Amino acid sequence: MAGKTLYDKLWDAHLVTEREDGSALIYIDRQIIHEVTSPQAFEGLRLAGRKPWRTGASVATIDHNVPTTPFKSAAEIVDQTSRIQVQTLQDNTREFGITEFGIGDVRQGIVHVMAPEQGAVLPGMTVVCGDSHTSTNGALACLAHGIGTSEVEHVLATQTLVAKKMNNMRVSVEGDLSPAVTAKDVVLHIIGIIGTAGGNGYAIEFAGSAIRGLSLEGRMTICNMAIEAGARAGMVAVDQTTIDYVEGRPFAPKGEDWDKAVDYWRTLVSDADAEFDAEVNIDAADIRPQVSWGTSPEMVVPVDAMLPDPQAESDEVKRSGMQRAYEYMGLKPGIPVTDIKVDRVFIGSCTNSRIEDLRAAAEVAKGRKKADSVKQVLVVPGSGLVKQQAEKEGLDKVFIEAGFEWREPGCSMCLAMNPDRLEAGEHCASTSNRNFEGRQGNGGRTHLVSPAMAAAAAVAGHFVDIRELDQA
């Protein structure tokens, strides 16, 4: 019999019961809650007269709606509907006895930055949140994926989820990454290869020497975008990097429990003889800094390439999608990526707003200035703690001196639910995860890049190969 994959092990460890009809109940160790996808779930509980199964399993924060300019209470949020959601989360968490890192709490931040930072996500856990980028947390060798609001309610009420086992996919990136290539470039390259539906029905394990060589934060960037390849869950096996990351965090086990936990966590790797339903092998040496050009994350090219020709695409459905994307983006096939001018730059989001991301952007910004043609460069740390750390290192000053804006934590311009947004027709170099039509503002045009590439575009006024910044 073949061995087990990491996903098989996580699934088996959380299986409560299998039903005759093939569905299963899996136990959920941790639920992360935010203001946008939870109000209807709490309302459902109230209407049915139900209580949360285990309040300690949930941890909440506000991120999608919050302004990134300083504010002290919900009453200061100008947008009425945003204010109601923020207030509603506060009321619901109080009523049901759930921990919330709310306004003014230094731990407040983007759900998928806050939770691992607190050690609220641990190896071997099942983690869900009403947010598709919950896959981020799989970097800690846990089974983490997004769910809908009905499921948020189901998990609150029963601590379980009705689930069907996914298939196993392994994406292996072997070899050494070139120095200018970051985790973001790796995952964009992967999505370019397997496509936005390539991972449908799969849990993806990211493996190989290039992945093992990444920091835990880099692995989060990779797993974050598993959903952009269609896979609800992405994960990376436990190694010393995982253990070192978790040690000492507020929610992490201590003392004897810690030793016991580490012994268990070290088993959270795919067995050598495990079989995967699909395997993708990538040579790290092939990966160059990436820029998305279209309206789907799979529409991505290396920065030193020309924009692709739809006529060369044999699949009719894909070809018409590319043509529509060119129309929306106001771009033409055959032009060099470096000819695309940017109007705004956004450095932030659950993909790239951790301290290492800010350091990478600051390294490029240091001693340089934002191009005059660029209207705005937003730098939005992922949490209050990331912001604090960045300020300790003086990164805020580097950004401000370069003409960038240093903001308060939140999701911000990744999805423009708060006041940070693009105007119609504007091109944005963005470290976020989705370049869908209108995502960053009605009519806005998003280009997905790494933090260093975003900072370089801010300085040059157009996309530039980070390896050639000073010649640009």
**Is residue 131 a contact residue for another protein (CB under 8 A)?**
yes
With a CB cutoff of 8 Å and minimum separation 6, the contacts of 69 are 407, 408, 419
Selected binder of another protein within 264, 281, 394, 401 (CB under 8 A)? 264
C-beta of 136 vs 338, nearer to another protein: 136
C-beta of 79 vs 239, nearer to another protein: 79
The region of 79-87, 182-190, 274-282, 388-396 touching another protein under the rule CB under 8 A is: 79-87
**Is residue 167 a contact residue for another protein (CB under 8 A)?**
no
User: Shortest approach of another protein to residue 257 CB, angstroms?
Assistant: 5
Cα–Cα distance measured from residue 346 to residue 377, given in angstroms and rounded to the nearest whole number: 6
Selected binder of another protein within 61, 90, 118, 132 (CB under 8 A)? 132
For residue 291, the surrounding DSSP H or E stretch is strand 290-292
Please check whether residue 301 is in contact with residue 291, taking contact to mean a CB–CB distance below 8 angstroms.
yes
User: Shortest approach of another protein to residue 176 CB, angstroms?
Assistant: 33
Please check whether residue 126 is in contact with residue 120, taking contact to mean a CB–CB distance below 8 angstroms.
no
Cα–Cα distance measured from residue 381 to residue 378, given in angstroms and rounded to the nearest whole number: 10
Selected binder of another protein within 114, 147, 237, 379 (CB under 8 A)? 147
User: Shortest approach of another protein to residue 27 CB, angstroms?
Assistant: 6
C-beta of 91 vs 363, nearer to another protein: 91
Contact set for another protein, span 13-52 (CB under 8 A): 16-17, 19, 21-23, 25, 27, 29, 36-37, 39-40, 43, 48, 50
User: Shortest approach of another protein to residue 375 CB, angstroms?
Assistant: 19
Contact set for another protein, span 189-228 (CB under 8 A): 196-197, 200-201, 227
- Taking only Cα atoms into account, the Rg of the chain, rounded to an integer number of angstroms, comes to 21
Calculate the dihedral angle through the C-alpha atoms of 396, 419, 67, 371, rounding to the nearest 10 degrees: 0
C-beta of 88 vs 241, nearer to another protein: 88
**Residue 414 is assigned to a ligand binding site:** yes
C-beta of 43 vs 174, nearer to another protein: 43
Contact set for another protein, span 294-323 (CB under 8 A): 296, 317-318, 320-321
User: Shortest approach of another protein to residue 108 CB, angstroms?
Assistant: 19
Selected binder of another protein within 244, 257, 327, 339 (CB under 8 A)? 257
Three-state helix/strand/coil letters over 43-66: HHHHHHCCCCCCHHHEEEECCCCC
Handedness of CA 395, 241, 117, 32 (dihedral sign): positive
C-beta of 160 vs 352, nearer to another protein: 160
**Residue 350 is assigned to a ligand binding site:** yes
Cα–Cα distance measured from residue 360 to residue 468, given in angstroms and rounded to the nearest whole number: 16
Please check whether residue 364 is in contact with residue 438, taking contact to mean a CB–CB distance below 8 angstroms.
no
Contact set for another protein, span 411-470 (CB under 8 A): 415-417, 434, 436-439, 442-443
With a CB cutoff of 8 Å and minimum separation 6, the contacts of 470 are none
Contact set for another protein, span 90-119 (CB under 8 A): none
C-beta of 123 vs 382, nearer to another protein: 123
**Residue 223 is assigned to a ligand binding site:** no
**Is residue 397 a contact residue for another protein (CB under 8 A)?**
no
Q: List the structure tokens of 131.
A: 């947010």
- Which amino acid, one-letter code, is at 453? M
C-beta of 19 vs 72, nearer to another protein: 19
Q: Which of 240, 220, 249, 260 is nearest to 122 (CA)?
A: 249
Cα–Cα distance measured from residue 368 to residue 8, given in angstroms and rounded to the nearest whole number: 49
Cα–Cα distance measured from residue 69 to residue 419, given in angstroms and rounded to the nearest whole number: 9
Q: Phi, psi (5° rounding) for residue 366?
A: -55, 125
Bind-site residues: 350, 411, 414
